[in-house]
Structure formats: structure tokens, C-alpha cells
Amino acid sequence: MQSNQELAKKLVSHTPAYVLDEEKLLQNLEILKKIQEQSGCKILLAQKAFSMFSVYPVIEKYLAGTTASGLYEAKLGKEYFSGEVHVFSPAYKLEDMQELVGIADDIIFNSLNQLEKYGEFCRQAGKSIGLRINPECSTQETVIYDPCAVGSRLGVTVDKLEKLESFPDIDGLHFHTLCEQNADALGLTLKAVEEKFEKYLYACKWVNFGGGHHITRPDYNRNLLIKLIKDFSEKYQVQVYLEPGEAIALNAGYLITEILDITENQNIKTLILDASASCHMPDVLEMPYRPPLYQADYPDKKNYNYRLSSCTCLAGDVIGDYSFDNILSIGDRLCFEDMMIYSMVKNNTFNGMPLPDIGMLHTNKTYEVIKKFSYQDFKERLS
């Protein structure tokens, strides 16, 4: 039986193209739905990772709503998703806040300054108000992805709250400390949250555990997650929210690319692709990480080694070194996996690179082009 990866390589009419695998998306959503049912939590789609709104009507059947990083994502969630709309930003502009109170259900502030500036305005508009806290509990080593790193600008530390004469008039607390982590990391975080903020938790109606929960990963400890949520919500009598982005579309899509040329220098054969790390999967350079590639492995694991690069002028626009069973040729197609999360929302047109098509491989094995981009899309970003 032909794999979905092979089918996507075959059915895509134009490369590069992001391809959402509907079957795998639904598998993820079923897992998340069961977590909600068994734990009593509400799960929100974090649009910063995946905001392909054409499938929001599918996702809204499984999840409770969306979470936004600002006005534009909040508007997108309100327009295309029928559930709750939550928003958090390190700081808000007045003109954005004036619009947000007509869109969002929950508005979360990053500092006591922002809460003082906008809290009453939001309260009068009937909004639920939250405050992001920083439990100062790092569970990861990569500083750029650690909201609890020394000097972090994200969240209010407990010493700031203890200096107040009374607890602010808010409905809930929010913390986000994880990045692609398992439930044991959440357990450590919850321990720190309770040790430092317990007396404030009893005053809350809801507590948001943030994102970074890799719930749909095969080795994720879902039973532990359910226990942590149930124990916490019962102890403090609060509604628990989770807002994963990656877990919704984890391993649920591809980037199909074509080999345009093959160069060789000092015994390194480099594939020049029509997809780019810098433009189409920037986390490869930013994080950095090595994206999974269908039917390929690490160097020397298979018969033939190649370096994968792009047709941009950036010398470091290198995706990585891989090995293959067979010799590759100009015109062959490759399939990068796990390309639905962060890639589409962070892509760009550096060097005038065209944006990839966006398509969907349906459960009935048909392919639909959702969006095509053109020179006009590049041009209108610039003037």
C-alpha cells in the first residue's frame, strides 16, 4: 500500500508545497479530545504554531477554542473558530486593546503594569482577566525557548505579588514554561507553581498551563497528564486550560520539494532544492534542528550521502546532511516530514523566493490545493 508521503510526492502538481495530512491531523485531534474528556480540561489551539484556518471547522469539533498572541490571531480565531478566544501578549497597544475587548473572551496580562493600565477597561467590557506568572522553574536547556531563564521578560514572579497589599482582581493565572516536553516536565513545573503561588491559586476560577505539551507524540505519558490535571483542578476548584500548538498538527504534514541541481565540492554532493531552510522552514536555522526526511537517514546510515541546500544566496542555507538507499537525480522529489507546525507561520520571501503552495491530502487520498502564492504576494509585502 502506498504511503501518504509517497502519495503526496506524486499528487502535488507544483513544488515546493506544504501538504497537510488530514488523516494524521484527525488522529491527533482524537487524542486531544480524549484528554479533555478524561481530565476535564479545555484544550485551545495555539495559533502561533498552526493557523491554517481552512481546517478550523474540523478542529473546532474537537477543541474548546483558540489562543492568540495578539490582535491578528485573535481576529482569525474569532472569525473561523466557534469556540473560546484567549489572548496573551507581553504588552498591548491601546488601539489593539480597544478592538480585543470586542473579540476575546479571556485577556491575559504579562505584568502588573499592563494589568493596572487595562484591567478595569477589560472588566467593564465583561472580559475574563488573567495574569501570567513565572514560577522560575526551568525544565529545558535551550535558553531561547526557556520563559523561566534568568532575566526573563515573561510572567510575574512571586516576589512581585507578595509586595502587593492585596491580590489583584483577576479570574485566573497563566504560566507557560515548556517546549516540546513530556508530562514529567509539567509535573516539575506544577510543583514549583504550587510552592510559590498556592495561596493565589485558591482565588482563581481558571488556571492555564500554557503550551509546549507534546501530547500527541507516541511516547508522551498521557495518563500522567490526566492525573496532574485532575488532581490540580480538584484541589483548587479551577477550570484547567492547555494551549498546545505543536500537538495539534505534530507529524501531520509535509513539505514536498524538487531537486533542481546537484553540485560537488571536496567530495560533498549537495542537492539544490526549490525549498529553503531560511525561507520555508526557518526553525532549522533558528532552533536549530534537523527536519525528518522520508526514506532518508543520518549520514553513512544508508548507501549515498548528500547535503541538502537551497537556491538562495545565503551560504548557510543548509537543511542538513542525509543518506539515501539510492542515487538521487535532478528532478527527483523529496518529502520533509513534520512540516505543519511553525513552518507556514514563520516563512518568508527572502531572495524573492516564492512561498510554497498549501494543500491537503484528504482521508480519501485525494489532493486539494488550498492556496497558491504568486509574485504579487511577494511584491505587496514591500511597498
- In terms of C-beta density within 10 A (0-12 exposed, 13-18 middle, 19 or more buried), how is residue 294 classed? middle
Measured CA to CA, the distance from residue 246 to residue 323 in angstroms comes to 27
Q: State the chain's mean pLDDT as an integer.
A: 97
Confidence of residue 254 (pLDDT cuts 50, 70, 90): very high
Residue 14: per-residue pLDDT: 96
Could you tell me the pTM of the whole model? 0.96
CA-to-CA distance for 77 and 46, rounded, in angstroms? 10
**What's the pLDDT at 97?**
98
Q: Which residues contact 300 (CB under 8 A, 6 or more apart)?
A: 323
- Spatial contact of 40 and 230, defined as CB atoms under 8 Å apart: yes
| Cell representation of residue 313 | 544566496
Task: Give the pLDDT mean for 356-373.
Answer: 98
pLDDT at 142 exceeding the cut of 90? no
Residue with cell 501570567: 132
pLDDT, tens digit, 9 for 90 and up, residues 6-57: 999 999 999 999 999 999 999 999 999 999 999 999 999 999 999 999 999 9
pLDDT attached to residue 286 = 87
Vertex 325: Cα angle to 20 and 25 (nearest 5):
15
Spell out the residues 6+ positions from residue 80 whose beta carbon is closer than 8 angstroms to its own: 53, 56, 57
Round to whole Å and give the CA distance between 285 and 47: 22
